[in-house]
C-alpha cells in the first residue's frame, strides 16, 4: 500500500515585531494597509487602543506584542496593518486590523510539519490552535476569533521570556 501524501495548506506568516511570529490561514487575511492612519481611542484596552477607517467601517487594531506582554509596547516605526477576516458567529464575519512589522509571507504548510507548542512559547497558548515547524522554528497558528474576542482581556497570558522579544 502506498503512503498517503501529507495534506498541504496555504498560510500567512505574520511578523508582529519583537521576535513574535505566528501564522493564520490564507483566507484569514483580506489585505494589507501600507500607510495606515490610525486614531487613538481613549479608555480602551492597552493592546487595542486604535481604530482604522477601512471601507466605510471603523476597525479595531490589535497590537499583539502589547497583548502578550500585558502592557503598551511602543513601536519605533510606522508599521503595516493586516486586515484580518474572522468568524464572529455561525453567520457573521468580522474584520479587524492587526499591527505587523513587515508584510505577511505566504507559505505552504504540510501535516508533516505539525508539532506541539513548546514550553518556551506557552505565552501563545490562549491564542494558538496548532503549531508547525518551519526551518527548525516552531510557529503557532492563531485563532483570530479568539484574538478579536471581547473576552480576550480576561485571558491570562503566560509571561514572555525576555529573550523572546529582543
The per-residue DSSP string of 46-83 comes to TTS-EEEEETTEEEEEE-HHHHHHTS----SS--EEEE
Per DSSP, helices labelled H in the chain are 64-69, 144-147
Q: Are residues 11 and 109 in contact, defined by beta-carbon separation less than 8 angstroms?
A: yes
Mean predicted confidence (pLDDT) in 131-143: 97
Comparing 121 with 4, the larger pLDDT belongs to: 121
Integer angstrom CA distances of residue 124 from 78, 81, 91: 25, 20, 27
Assessment of whether the complete model's pTM goes beyond 0.85:
yes
Max mean pLDDT among 35-39, 78-82, 141-145, 149-153 falls in 141-145
Mean predicted confidence (pLDDT) in 123-148: 96
Domains of the chain: 9-151 (2.40.50.180)
pLDDT value for 165: 54
Instruction: Tally Cβ neighbours within 10 Å of residue 96.
Output: 23
> Could you give the percent of the chain with pLDDT greater than 70?
93
- Cβ-based burial of 91 (10 A; exposed 0-12, middle 13-18, buried ≥19): exposed
Retrieve residue 112's grid coordinates.
508533516
Q: What is the distance between the alpha carbons of residues 144 and 96, in angstroms, rounded to a whole number? A: 9
pLDDT value for 163: 53
Amino acid at each position: 500500500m502506498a503512503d498517503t501524501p501529507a495534506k498541504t495548506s496555504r498560510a500567512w506568516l505574520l511578523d508582529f515585531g519583537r521576535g513574535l511570529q505566528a501564522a493564520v490561514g490564507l483566507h484569514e487575511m483580506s489585505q494589507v494597509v501600507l500607510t495606515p492612519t490610525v486614531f487613538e481611542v481613549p479608555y480602551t484596552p492597552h493592546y487595542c487602543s486604535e481604530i482604522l477607517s477601512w471601507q466605510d467601517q471603523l476597525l479595531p487594531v490589535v497590537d499583539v506584542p502589547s497583548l502578550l506582554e500585558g502592557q503598551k509596547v511602543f513601536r519605533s516605526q510606522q508599521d503595516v496593518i493586516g486586515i484580518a477576516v474572522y468568524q464572529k458567529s455561525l453567520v457573521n464575519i468580522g474584520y479587524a486590523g492587526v499591527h505587523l512589522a513587515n508584510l505577511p509571507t505566504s507559505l505552504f504548510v504540510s501535516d508533516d510539519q505539525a508539532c506541539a507548542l513548546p514550553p518556551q512559547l506557552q505565552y501563545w497558548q490562549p491564542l494558538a490552535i496548532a503549531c508547525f515547524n518551519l526551518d527548525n522554528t516552531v510557529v503557532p497558528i492563531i485563532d483570530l476569533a479568539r484574538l478579536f474576542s471581547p473576552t480576550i482581556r480576561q485571558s491570562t497570558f503566560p509571561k514572555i521570556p525576555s529573550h523572546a522579544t529582543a
